[in-house]
Chain A
Amino acid sequence: MKTVEEFERYFYRHLLAELSELEKERNKIRIGIIVIFAISVLLLVTLLCLFGRSLQMMASLCFFVLFLVGIGFFLLWNLLSAGISKGFVQRFKKTVIDGIVRFIEPSLTYNPKSYITWLDFQRSDLFRDRVDRYTGEDLVYGKYGETEIRLSEIKAEKKVRSSNKNATERWQTVFSGTFLIADFHKDFFGKTVIFPDFAERLFGPLGQAIQGMRLNRGELIKLENPEFEKYFVVYGSDQIESRYILSPSFMERLVTYRKKVGSQVYFSFVNSYIFIAIPTKRNLFEPNLLKNLTDFNHIKTYFEDLSLLIGAVEDLNLNTRIWSKQPYER
């Protein structure tokens, strides 16, 4: 995996010129947004002045009207800024994200509008909730060493109806974050899923009993690595196959990767593929209009995020092909 130092050299040699152009555009957008914001505030103040008397007379009603006006402005502001910055976002992704992906591995391809298919998401068997709305963006795909990978941002939601009288509907997130699929270096036929361990962490041995009760997930696989067991709970269709996948050193690699990510990570192993799901609220590949694009430390965060995701192949040693799954003869 390329280092930050190497990326710094690449940044100054290849990215900076294009980023300077983008930075000018960002400044224009920023000014545009400030103007829209200023007009919104001005309108709000004017309305307050016009209806000042009414405010004193019917305070509660006026506050309600102002609240609605406020929401209206907020939506208008969002719409306008999104409209203005749409082209900018596309250019940013083409320059920065595509550039970083190619820098990390030239054989990888980036498509900002595509994403991991619903079928693949379902195939991972990580999230069994009903999904009514499925979207995504920022697909990176191709071969990293000997390993085929695909990763993208994904949002899967379901419609829920509240049980009260009004029975209002709202969207509940099933999964929102980054999803990665890679060709695993060993062949296997069953299914092994690894979830973050909440029960055992909270309730200790009692938690393990609760884990054992999740029968629809297959057999509970108790493994020998205490640190791994602290972070994860494993279910599998076959005790031996799950251990074949989760060799002692691979367990250590998963723990190290989990620590590197610094948040919950889900893994599953299905049909000789590894699926990795990292829930996050952050939109990893979007430009930040408030930050200077020519600042290396800012662009470095995109490199670090992408390195962490694509680097899973190296972190988990997926390029080592000494078992049944041999590298392709060239």
Chain B
Amino acid sequence: MGTSLIFLLILVGIALLFIGVWNSFMRKKNRVHNASASLDAILKKRYDLIPNLTEVVKGYAAYEQAVLESVLRVRNEALRARTIEEKEHADGKIAKGIEEIFVIAEKYPNLKADRQFRFLQASLNEIEEQISAARRAYNATVLEINTAIAVFPLNLFAKLYRITAFPFFSATESEKRTPMV
């Protein structure tokens, strides 16, 4: 009687351990998905600003058509990105494109002084900061689950549950260069 009770308790204990670890992984995984969705929402905000920006620039710098069209093309590509790697790649290109637009603006003082252009510039600065925050929040959740997947004995459970490491979202080159305030 005593032995079977102990055996039963051990079985319950093991079952609880498996359930607990599974739930912990699921919670971490959901946090990653949640952070990824928030990042997507903010990236989308930036993509939505680009047509407005190119429209304003076109009004002052019609000769820069090629640059503007290429930025719009990159923006459409970015909208189609699905995986983190694709988004990261597209984000880099978008950041570069926006940088080029601001370089153009330097050559046209009237454009630089345009109220709407200044507003869009401030909005983009704001969104850049939000993207940076969302990227860091996403990476924090990825770090949490990837660490759990890597350390013993959780790595054994991760293999059993077929949970694999998530990719980090790196900062774009321009983000690394620009000193954030």
Interface size on A, residues (CB 8 A): 19
Q: Give the docked Cα–Cα distance between A324 and B121 (Å).
A: 10
Given A322-B125, A326-B122, residue A240 in contact with residue B181 (CB < 8 A): no
A249 interfacial contact with B, CB 8 Å:
yes
B123 interfacial contact with A, CB 8 Å:
yes
Interface residues on B, range: 10 to 19
Q: Give the docked Cα–Cα distance between A239 and B37 (Å).
A: 13
1/0 per residue B122-158: CB within 8 Å of A? 1101100110111011001000000000000000000
Residue of B nearest to A322 (CB): B125
Cross-interface CB contact of B130 among A222, A240, A242, cutoff 8 Å: A240
Tell which of B42, B125, B126 has the most Cβ of chain A within 10 Å: B126
Residue of A nearest to B140 (CB): A222
Cross-interface CB contact of A247 among B123, B137, B180, cutoff 8 Å: B180
Chain B nearest CB from A156 CB (Å) reads 33
Q: Give the docked Cα–Cα distance between A240 and B34 (Å).
A: 11
Tell which of B123, B137, B181 has the most Cβ of chain A within 10 Å: B181
Tell me which residues from 199 to 252 in chain A have a Cβ below 8 Å from any Cβ of chain B.
222, 224, 239-244, 247-250
Q: Give the docked Cα–Cα distance between A249 and B180 (Å).
A: 6
Cross-interface CB contact of B133 among A241, A249, A317, A322, cutoff 8 Å: A241
1/0 per residue A271-292: CB within 8 Å of B? 0000000000000000000000
Q: Give the docked Cα–Cα distance between A107 and B129 (Å).
A: 31
Count CB-based A-B contacts (< 8 Å): 50
Q: Is the CB of B125 within 8 A of A224?
A: no
B179 interfacial contact with A, CB 8 Å:
yes
Q: Give the docked Cα–Cα distance between A320 and B38 (Å).
A: 26
B35 interfacial contact with A, CB 8 Å:
yes
Residue of A nearest to B119 (CB): A326
A323 interfacial contact with B, CB 8 Å:
yes
- Residues of chain A with a CB closer than 8 A to B136's CB: 224, 243
Q: Is the CB of B181 within 8 A of A244?
A: no
A300 interfacial contact with B, CB 8 Å:
no
Given A240-B38, A244-B130, residue A322 in contact with residue B137 (CB < 8 A): no
Chain B nearest CB from A31 CB (Å) reads 55
- Residues of chain A with a CB closer than 8 A to B180's CB: 247-250
Chain A nearest CB from B84 CB (Å) reads 17
- Residues of chain B with a CB closer than 8 A to A249's CB: 179-181
- Residues of chain A with a CB closer than 8 A to B130's CB: 240, 244
Q: Give the docked Cα–Cα distance between A240 and B35 (Å).
A: 8
Given A186-B129, A247-B129, A324-B123, residue A240 in contact with residue B134 (CB < 8 A): yes
Q: Give the docked Cα–Cα distance between A239 and B130 (Å).
A: 11
Q: Give the docked Cα–Cα distance between A323 and B121 (Å).
A: 9
Q: Give the docked Cα–Cα distance between A247 and B179 (Å).
A: 10
Residue of A nearest to B41 (CB): A240
Q: Give the docked Cα–Cα distance between A243 and B133 (Å).
A: 5
26 CB contacts below 8 A, A to B, read A186-B126, A222-B140, A224-B136, A239-B35, A239-B137, A240-B38, A241-B133, A242-B133, A243-B133, A244-B132, A247-B129, A247-B133, A247-B180, A247-B181, A248-B180, A249-B179, A249-B181, A250-B181, A317-B181, A322-B125, A323-B122, A323-B125, A323-B126, A323-B129, A324-B122, A324-B126
9 A-B pairs closest in CB distance: A244-B133, A243-B133, A323-B126, A239-B137, A240-B137, A324-B126, A247-B180, A243-B136, A322-B125
